[in-house]
Copies of this chain bind each other. A is one copy, B any other.
Amino acid sequence: MANFELTKDFLEATIDAVKRKDADFIEKEIADLYPADIATILYELDGPEAHYVFQFLDTETGADVLSSIDSDDRKRFIKEQFEVEEIAKYVNLFDSDDAVDLLNEQSIEVRERVIALLEDREQARFILDLLHYPEDVAGGLMQKELVKVFEDQTVSECVEQIRDQAESVDKVYAVYVVDTEHRLKGIVSLKEIVLARKNTKIGNVVQEDIVWVETTLPGEEVAEVMQRYDLEVIPVVNAVGRLLGRITIDDVVDFITEKADEDFQAVTGITGEVEEDDNVWQLAKSRLPWLVVGVIGSLLAATVIKGFESRLVQITALALFIPIMGSTGGNVGIQTSSLIVQSLAEKTGLSLGLGERLFKIVKVALLNGVVIGALTGCYVYIIGEPELFWVVCLALLSVVMLASIMGTITPLVLDKFGINPAVASGPFITTANDLVGISTYFFIANWLL
C-alpha cells in the first residue's frame, strides 16, 4: 500500500504517548506524518489530548490536519479547544474553500471574529466572497486560489505570476486566461508552459475550447461534468462569464462518495447522515422515521386482514401465505425502483418514455412472476391445500405486476417533485408493497373461494 501505513500497534503506541504527554515521542513520530494520518490519530484522542498534539506541529501542518478532519468532529473539537486567535492562525493558511467549510461549522460570532483576525487580507476577501454561496452548488465547492493571466502577456510573465502565487496556489494544474473584464477566455496547461518559449504570447498557446460551470450549478452536476470530460479541475464563472474560482477533483470525489453513502443509507431506510460511531440516541433517531412508517403500513395491513376475518375463520390456511405476499411485493418493488433510481442518476442521453418503461417492466415482471408462482404452486400441493392453488398463483402474479408498476412510478414521481428518489424508494416502496400485496391476496381469495 502506501509507503507508510498506520498499523494498529503504531496507533496504540502513539495514543499511549500522547496520554503520557511524551513530548519526545510526539515530536519524533507524529510531527512528520502526513496530515491525513495525524488526523486519524486525533480521532482516537479526547479533545484536550488532540489539542496538545497541535503544539508540536508547524502552522502549515496544523492547518492541513485541521482541514482533513471530518466536519462533525472538527466542529466540536474547534469549539471546545481553540481560541479565535488560534483558529485564525490556521485558517490563514487554508485553501479558501476549506476555510469557508470550517467557518460555516462555527457560530456567526466566531466566524466574524476569525475573519477580522486573518493576517492574509486576500484570504479574508476570498472567504467573504465564498460565504454567499450555498454549500452544495459550484459556488460553494469552488476555491478562489488560481493563477490568472491576460491574453497579451507572455509565457515568462505567466511564470512570474505562478511564482508570485506559488505559496497560496498549492496545485496549479493550469493557468486561466482572461480578458480585461476578467471574463474567462481559455486555459494554458502547465505542460504547455513548460514546453513553450519564454517570449511566446499567451494568446498563441491558449486553448479556448474548454469546459466551465456556473456558480449556481448543483454539485452533483459539477461531478457529472468533471467525470464526463475527465477533468481534474474546472473553472467556475458567473452569469456574465467572469472567472470567479475553480473546483478541484479532490473536493468532487469527496462529494461523490458522500452522495453515494447517502443514497445507500436512504434506500436502506436510514434518515440523516449517521455513522456507526454516533451516539445511541442519534442512531435510534435516524432509524425511527422509517420504522414508524413500516409499522403504520403493517397495521394497515392488519386492518385489511381483520376485514376478511370471517374468511380466515373458515379457511385458516389462508394465513400461511401472508408472508410471501408481503415480502415478494417488497422485494420486487425495491428491485424495480433501484434500477429506475440509477438510470435517473445517470441521465444517459434520451431516456425511455414512461409507456416504454412500463411495458418492458411488465414483461420482466411476467417472467419472474411465472417462476415464483410455479414454485409456490408446488408448495401449495405439497402441504395439501390444493384448493388454494389458483388463489395463491393469481395473487402472486398480480403482486409482482403491481409492485413492478409502483416501483417504476414512485421514483419517477419523486424525481419530478425534486425529492431524491433514493430517499423514499427503499423503505417507502417496501412498506407500500407489503400492504398492496396482502390486500390483493385477500381480495382475490375472497373473490375466488
Contact = CB atoms under 8 A, between A and B. Distances in A.
Nearest to A160: B195
A75 interface: no
A269 B335 contact: yes
A349 B11 contact: yes
Interface string A367-393: 110011001100100010000000000
A420 interface: no
A276 B331 contact: no
A159 B291 contact: no
Interface stretch (A84-92, A99-107, A295-303): A295-303
Contacts of A343: 275-277
Contact of A295 (B8, B330, B340, B372): B372
* Residue among A298, A309, A383 facing the most chain B CB atoms (10 A cut-off): A298
B379 A299 contact: yes
A283 B357 CA distance: 13
A283 B163 CA distance: 56
A290 B434 CA distance: 17
Contacts of A417: none
B350 A11 contact: yes
Contacts of A375: 292, 295, 299
Contact of A317 (B11, B166, B227, B309): B309
Interface in A245-269: 249-250, 252-254, 256-257, 260-261, 263-265, 267-269
A172 B191 contact: yes
A243 B229 CA distance: 28
A2 B298 contact: no
A369 to B, nearest CB: 9
B364 A328 contact: no
A312 interface: yes
Contact of A194 (B11, B193, B276, B342): B193
A240 interface: no
A19 to B, nearest CB: 14
Interface stretch (A111-119, A120-128, A206-214): A206-214
Chain copies in the assembled complex: 2
A339 B270 contact: yes
Given A260-B264, A305-B319, A295 B280 contact: no
A298 B44 CA distance: 44
A354 interface: no
A323 B222 CA distance: 44
A267 B264 contact: yes
A116 B325 CA distance: 59
Most buried by B among A263, A264, A357, A427: A264
A340 B291 contact: no
Interface string A386-427: 000000000000000000000000000000000000100011
Interface string A206-240: 00001111100100010001111111100000000
A81 interface: no
A357 B277 CA distance: 9
A4 B287 CA distance: 43
A323 to B, nearest CB: 4
A321 interface: yes
A294 interface: yes
Given A269-B331, A320-B305, A40 B349 contact: yes
A371 B288 contact: yes
A334 B1 contact: no
A274 interface: yes
A43 interface: yes
Q: Which 4 A-B pairs have the closest CB atoms?
A: A260-B260, A298-B324, A268-B338, A302-B320
Given A290-B331, A291-B371, 17 more contacts: A1-B225, A36-B229, A43-B348, A44-B349, A159-B194, A260-B264, A264-B341, A267-B268, A269-B331, A275-B343, A280-B367, A298-B328, A305-B322, A322-B323, A323-B323, A326-B434, A331-B430
